A = this chain, B = another copy of it.
Amino acid sequence: MRLAELSARSGVPTATIKYYLREGLLPAGRRVSATQAAYDDVHLRRLRLVRAMIQVGRVPVATVREVLAAVDDDSLDHHMRLGAAVWALPHELGGTDVTADDDGAEVTEAARGAVDALLDRLDWPFARLAGADSPAYRTLVGALVRLAQLGYPWDIDHLTPYGRLAERLAVADLDMVQGYGPADEQVEAAIAVTVLYEPVLLSLRRLADGEESYRRFGEQEHAPGDDAPEADG
């Protein structure tokens, strides 16, 4: 397909596609004349992925390039390509800029110890070995430091159920990723699922929190369909 069709099918303006081509985020098309190139489904898929990372994940262009290098690295096996690509994705949510004073250093040490103990308890050998090399590990340590500094100290017994639920989320994530046929597509899908399902997960959690709060505290006074209009009414 020509550039115009690639733009129409992806919903990405041609100027943006040209920018991605210049930045090396999209492989060049096959030359068909001095001024025209042809693109195929590989370009379309890659374009969607780049857009997901930049628009939803707000991943910087330089990082997108790193992630894609991992996706395209044939020297890595499937697990390593999946891992390297997701690994390079930044965490949008804060929690890592730990204060550098003595108190901060002590709290950080304690948080690191808690994360290691949690990973042992969960029996996650891969995460345990990677340790602070993993951006997700560092985000978790930073989040615990924040909790402590803000007066909401963590408790490993409270964290464990979140870890167990994360295990089940990962099963759902990987099942979805494996639904995408060939290995190349799976790696791209893993990145998209990681980025695009974060808002899905967080909004479902907030809705479920409301539901659970309603169940525990609100049932008597606010029965649905009683003091509020029927959903389908």
Contacts and interface: CB of A to CB of B under 8 A. Distances in A.
Contacts of A170: 205, 208-209, 211-212
A117 B218 CA distance: 24
16 contacts: A11-B99, A79-B216, A83-B214, A87-B210, A93-B199, A124-B208, A125-B224, A126-B218, A127-B211, A139-B199, A142-B199, A150-B192, A162-B172, A166-B205, A174-B212, A174-B216
Interface string A130-173: 11001111011011101101111000001101110111111111
Given A127-B211, A137-B207, A204-B140, A94 B56 contact: yes
Interface in A75-122: 77-80, 82-83, 86-87, 91-95, 99, 119
Contacts of A44: 151
A200 B159 contact: yes
Contact of A92 (B93, B152, B217): B93
Given A51-B150, A77-B221, A79-B218, A127 B174 contact: no
A207 B127 contact: yes
Interface residues of A, number: 99
Interface of A: 10-11, 44-45, 48, 51-52, 55-56, 58, 77-80, 82-83, 86-87, 91-95, 99, 119, 124-131, 134-137, 139-140, 142-144, 146-147, 149-152, 158-159, 161-163, 165-174, 176, 178, 189-190, 192-194, 196-214, 216-218, 221-222, 224-225, 228-229, 231
Contacts of A52: 146, 150, 152
A174 to B, nearest CB: 5
